[in-house]
Chains A and B, each alone.
Chain A
Amino acid sequence: MNEEQLKQIKADKVVDARGTACPGPLLAAKKAIGLIEQGQIMEILSSDEGTKRDVPKWAKKKGYEYLGTIEENGYFRIFLRK
């Protein structure tokens, strides 16, 4: 998805992991993905540079769809579909 499309998304679950460093956001994502249904969208907020790369790769391995990332001022919004 492009950034405009991503901005339109209203996620079913938003995980704010901006206060933590690696591996905090990944663990938070792992926990939260169990709480949503198949087909629902999760948005992860992270200020950790490593997470920006980790989460899409992790999602691919686990069979979740990575929709894209928006870079905000000082943090990232990462979108996944379960």
Chain B
Amino acid sequence: METKKMCMALFTGSLDKLTAAGVILSGAVADDMDIDIYVLLQGARAFLKDVADKPEMLNMAENANLRKEFEQGLKRLNVMPWIEFFREAKQMGNIKIHICGLAGKLWGGEKLEDFVEIADDIVGINEYITKAQQADIHLLI
């Protein structure tokens, strides 16, 4: 079977959308897809080494008033923290996490070492467009 490709533009830096991205990512990994994630503007902040494991540094995209229910619900259902979806995907499948160079600088992330250990490289926009052109599934989250 031919390997399908997924390309994700991950703009969001919010807890709920990052969790959704993680769930979608898991589905793609289960299907053995080749996955490229381009972490853009707000997303790059969430992927900073000093932020990724600290959900308290992130907001909700929607229904901010229901944050407690959201977090307690995920815990009750044994859903892992958003960044763990990305770590697990990295272990299980062929997934590359690219950080947008502009976004990195915006939040003080000049070097790859400033980001969480699963980030592969810092790239420019042409790489994203090229992968998006080749992808079977393309998502903007």
* Chain A contacts to B: CB under 8 angstroms: 19-24, 26-27, 29-31, 58, 61-63
Contacts and interface: CB of A to CB of B under 8 A. Distances in A.
A30 B78 CA distance: 18
Contact of B31 (A19, A22, A31, A58): A58
B78 A61 contact: no
Contacts, number: 34
Interface in B9-41: 23, 26-27, 29-32
A30 B35 CA distance: 16
Interface in B85-100: 88, 92
Contacts of A22: 23
B78 A20 contact: yes
A40 B120 CA distance: 36
A28 to B, nearest CB: 10
Contact of B30 (A19, A21, A26, A63): A26
B140 interface: no
A22 B29 CA distance: 14
